[in-house]
Amino acid sequence: MMSKQPGYQNSGYKLFDAGFASLTQLSRGRLSEWPEAERKALYDTFRQGFDSLQDELENARKNGKQSFIKEHAMLLSGPDKVFSHVYGHDGVELLVLKERDAPDSSQTNPSSLPDSLLLSVRPVFQIRHPILMFPSMVRAEQRAFGLGAIRPRDPILAVTLTLRHSRALYDWYRNQSSEARPQVIDADDIINDRAAVSHVCAAVGLSPDAVQYEWETKEETDPKRAVFLSTINSSKGIIPGLAARGLDFDTEKAKWKAEFGNEDGEDIAKFVLDAMPDYIYLLNQRTYVNT
């Protein structure tokens, strides 16, 4: 939708591989029990992703453009933080990242990125109702990693079936005395309300007139990313049927149990219910609501 914004270049998902390198190894146990060399290698994977992000930002500056950065909130966390969601803080060294050619920055935000970098962007939080987001995530991770037996209660999925990472980062932004006021838009509004999209664009310096609601299909060469981007890449525009408005929880729960089995369907239902307070909170922070 934003690939034709004048003066911008898209950065893609620079921390995708680094984030999933941690997620796929959560079942190995506490990081403190790993061999030091293997733990360092995992940390270095995230550092490489961060370097790639900085390369993209630097390239945009050289081209006289700004960057349009996309990433999942969870994947902004390095291995130490990802593993702590499952095993608690077990004394491993903290991953500290610094921007190139920049003064040392504080690290008060809930991600692993420096405060200075996060405060240099205009944040937009895109949220989606857990009733659609969570079963979709289960399907995607099962396909992407060839883990047909993976279950919602397994660490790789359990730490992603939540909105607490988005809420924590949103609250951090709100508590900063900067101009980087976070914008929030719901997936249903993107599907059904172009005025909401235009409002958010104007608020962060994007052109509402350059938003694309139709596009050409796209092929993703990376097999893992292809799974997560399959719906948008195979589409030619906004798909109205993917809105959550009007869905009934009990009806959807019955579908999950039929698709994933009774136990896993119940687990998905619990994750959805547990995430609803965070979703409602973020939904109420939307910066444009059509009344």
Residue by residue, DSSP assigns the chain as --TT-TTEEEEE-TTHHHHHHHHTTGGG--GGGS-HHHHHHHHHHHHHHHHHHHHHHHHHHHTT-EEEE---GGGGS-HHHHHHHHH---SPPPP----TTS------SSSSS-HHHHTTS--EEEE--HHHHHHHHHHHHHHHTT-TT--TTSHHHHTTS-SHHHHHHHHHHHTSSSS-PPEEEEHHHHHH-HHHHHHHHHHHT--GGG--SB-------SHHHHHHTHHHHH-SB--GGG--TT--HHHHHHHHHHHH-HHHHHHHHHHHHHHHHHHHHHHTT-S----
Check residue 208 and give its pLDDT: 83
Check residue 2 and give its pLDDT: 65
The tokens 């900067």 sit on which residue? 178
Tell me: the pLDDT tens digits for 15-59? 988 988 999 899 999 999 999 999 999 999 999 999 999 999 999
Record the tokens describing residue 31, joined without a space: 């990081």
Record the tokens describing residue 278, joined without a space: 């965070």
Task: Inform me whether the pLDDT recorded for 108 exceeds 90.
Answer: yes
Check residue 9 and give its pLDDT: 77
Check residue 226 and give its pLDDT: 57
**Average per-residue pLDDT for the chain:** 86
Q: Which residue has the higher pLDDT, 88 or 232?
A: 88
- Nearest to residue 57, comparing CAs of 45, 46, 69? 69
Confidence of residue 4 (pLDDT cuts 50, 70, 90): confident
Task: Inform me whether the pLDDT recorded for 228 exceeds 70.
Answer: no
Of the listed ranges 60-74, 125-139, 153-167, 205-219, the least confidently predicted one is 205-219
195-219 mean pLDDT? 80
In contact, 79 and 95? CB cutoff 8 Å: yes
Characterize 222-237 residue by residue with b for buried, 16 or more Cβ atoms within 10 angstroms of its Cβ, and e for exposed.
eebbbbbbeeeeeeee
| Burial zone of 240 (CB within 10 Å; 0-12 exposed, 13-18 middle, 19+ buried) | exposed
Task: Inform me whether the pLDDT recorded for 215 exceeds 70.
Answer: no
Neighbours of 95 (CB within 10 A): 19
Q: Which residue has the higher pLDDT, 247 or 5?
A: 247
Check residue 105 and give its pLDDT: 77
Check residue 230 and give its pLDDT: 53
Check residue 216 and give its pLDDT: 67
Check residue 129 and give its pLDDT: 97
Check residue 68 and give its pLDDT: 83
191-203 mean pLDDT? 87
> What share of the chain in percent tops pLDDT 90?
53
Tell me: the pLDDT tens digits for 132-142? 999 999 988 88
Which distant-in-sequence residues (6+ apart) come within 8 Å of 231 by Cβ? 239, 242
82-90 mean pLDDT? 91
